[in-house]
Structure 1
Amino acid sequence: MAAAAAAVVRRTACGVRYSLGAGATSSPLLALVHGAPGSSRDFRHLTDAIERLGAPLRTLSVDLPGHGESPPFPDGREPTQPEMASALWRAVEAATADLSPPPPVLLLGHSIGGHTVLSAAARRPVAGVVLLAPVNVTPHRALLNDTGFRWIVRPLCLLLGRPPWKAALGGLAEAWFKRVLGFPRGVSRAELEWVHRRVAWLDFAAAEADARALRAPVLHAFARDDALIQPGKAMELRRVLDACAARDGPRLDWPSGGHNVQKTRAQELATALTEWVARVAAAGERTSASAS
């Protein structure tokens, strides 16, 4: 019988800081990926709710490079989704290195983290994917939609990566993120600069291609009063997901809850999530048994 983890532990793998929740080491592992700005602490309400349910599910909450307690890439790499996905997999590998057989791995992404987990799932097989208020397959309201992103937001974010423009426009960009978009006032200028770079490297066409290539169950959830991402954008992604039966899974559509549904809808989400993971794990065991 697999041993049970006694408590939440904090570890670092190749510069990526992560929190590994309590639970049996043989339980499915749910890797939680935040948005931008963000950190592993964004999921504390959800992980607490999961633990209160006593579900056979273990959580892994990461601080992606440049966020929380993880520094940016030391060699100057840009925070593209493939690079962030590789950083995520390093944390997963570290958390499961001593486990044999390795547990089923599911990936959960919130906001921009949705693109990260789609990129990660395109590179290695996963048992399932969870998308919470994700950045979708076309630019949304907070990015000034398609035309605004192409001609204003992305060029501006690229300019903010250059020292002269960073000094001239950094304060304006900070005001936009904090006052207009409602990002936490405690977010540092350094992390916001990293957020600019993540936004500049958003690739919506690649995200759509990753979603269409995915062959794993998907739980998709959003709230219709999300101030950053309008419902129509969420439904664009949902139609892509629904185009393939292999991506079947719960479709949660709440009237309220805002952008951070992992906090505002933590208990409902934890219940739906743990029930779904149990079904996914059981289906995986049946498939393994029939294959052998």
Structure 2
Amino acid sequence: MHPDRPSNAETQFIEMQGGVAAYTNEGSGPVIVCVHGIPGSTFDFRWLAPALSQNLSVIRIDLPGFGKTPKASHPGPDMDGMARFVLQFIDFMEFDSVSLIGHSLGGAIATQAAAMDERILALVLVSSAGPYSHRGHFPKTYKALLPFARNPVTRPLIVSMGRKALRWAGFHIGNSAETVVTALQCAASINFKRHGETLKELTKPTMVTWAKDDSIVEPRIGEILKEIAPAGPRLQFETGGHNIQKTRAVEMAQMLFPWIQEEVNLFLDRSKSVL
């Protein structure tokens, strides 16, 4: 299920080291930062945000080159570069501690960010990429197309083809050529094996949720993530597709909030004992 209405939170902007970053901010309580997939935007969490914002401060960000954040806001359109952008955003927002939720390829980005910073208390993987390329991802094709996307003569053709392919797959990307090219660059850079290795070494509590009828990331990957990710809630749906942050927003929120609150309380207790 999802809430009666999607979020209509106003887009805000914050000036960072490389330029502006677009985000939305709603609710109150422990902070959870939503990291969309590739391609994607804050739009992807418009149904989950109302379900979570009753108890949490829900921050949705546009990664560089997507939504309303220009690509120039961060020079690296790869997994590590996007993870550093997320952490820089947390710096500039002056958050002491946050949880991260990553959808699809955003799960790999959120995982890298969680491994790089102690302020990340917990991680939520939603229909996430796993330790190998999934059926909706074609890394060899993406890498082969990159030189043509960089060439000003062939770029328009690659953009047109990419836009049609992404819309056919159900992605809402707008008409920006920058978005299509950035999506191609970032998708080609995802290191699935390293993502899996990072998850195995990660110590942050991790929730994993997926649907058995996901047409992009096969359910077998959800089963693998369930086993290799650190301890935390596991939530499998029979139906819901790839975008369960929309179709199963209410059910996800019901499990996610108490767990996040528990992890925040544990963090506060540890902080008091140090003092």
TM-score by length of structure 2 reads: 0.87
What do residues 66-95 of structure 1 show as CA deviations (whole Å, max 9, x unaligned)? 0111000267x3301111111111221222
- Give the share of equivalent positions with the same residue, in percent: 27
1:249 counterpart (221, 227, 232): 232
Deviation at 1:289, TM superposition (A): 3.5
Compute the displacement of 1:135 (Å). 1.4
Partner of 1:114: 107
Q: In the alignment, is residue 203 of structure 1 matched against residue 217 of structure 2?
A: no
When residues 278 and 21 of structure 1 are mapped into structure 2, their CA distance, relative to the original with a 3 A threshold, is same
Kindly indicate whether residue 21 of structure 2 is the aligned counterpart of residue 16 of structure 1. Answer: yes
> Quick one: which amino acid aligns to residue 170 of structure 2?
G
Asked if the contact 1:220/1:251 (under 8 Å) is kept, the reply is yes
CA contact (8 A) 2:122 2:204 kept: yes
Aligned partners of 1:9 and 1:16: how far apart in 2?
10
1:234 to 222, 239, 242: 222
Hey, what does 2:4 align to over in structure 1? none
Residue pair 1:65, 1:71 contacting (<8 A) in 2 also: yes
Q: Show CA shifts across 1:209-250 (max 9, x none).
A: 321221110011111111111111222222211xxxxx2111
Q: 1:22 to 1:62 in 2, by over 3 A?
A: same
Contact 2:142 2:185 in 1 (8 A): no
Relative distance call for 1:232 and 1:210 in structure 2 (3 A) is same
- TM-fit CA distance, 1:121: 1.1
| Distance of aligned partners of 1:73 and 1:213 in 2 relative to their CA distance in 1, 3 Å threshold | farther
Counterparts of 1:26-65 in structure 2, within 5 Å, are: 27-51=29-53, 54-55=54-55, 57-65=56-64
Q: Which amino acid aligns with 2:58?
A: T
For structure 2, the residue ranges without an aligned partner over 5 or more in a row are 1-8
Does the CA contact (< 8 Å) of 1:158 and 1:200 recur in 2?
no
The answer to whether the Cα contact below 8 Å between 2:131 and 2:197 also exists between their aligned partners in 1 is no
8 Å CA contact 2:115, 2:202 repeated in 1: yes
1:143 is paired with a residue whose SS is coil
Q: Which residue of 1 aligns with 2:84?
A: 86
**2:124 match: secondary structure:** strand
| Letter of the 2:242 counterpart | H
* CA RMSD between the two structures: 2.1
Distance 1:194 1:262 in 2: 23
Q: Pick closer, same or farther for the CA change 1:258–1:275 going to 2, 3 Å.
A: same
Larger Rg: 1
Whole-angstrom distance in 2 between the partners of 1:198 and 1:257: 26
SS of residue paired to 2:204: coil
> 1:175 aligns to what SS in structure 2?
helix
Alpha-carbon distance, 1:161 to partner: 3.2
Q: Which amino acid aligns with 1:108?
A: I
Give the number of aligned pairs. Answer: 263
**Match of residue 3 from structure 1:** none
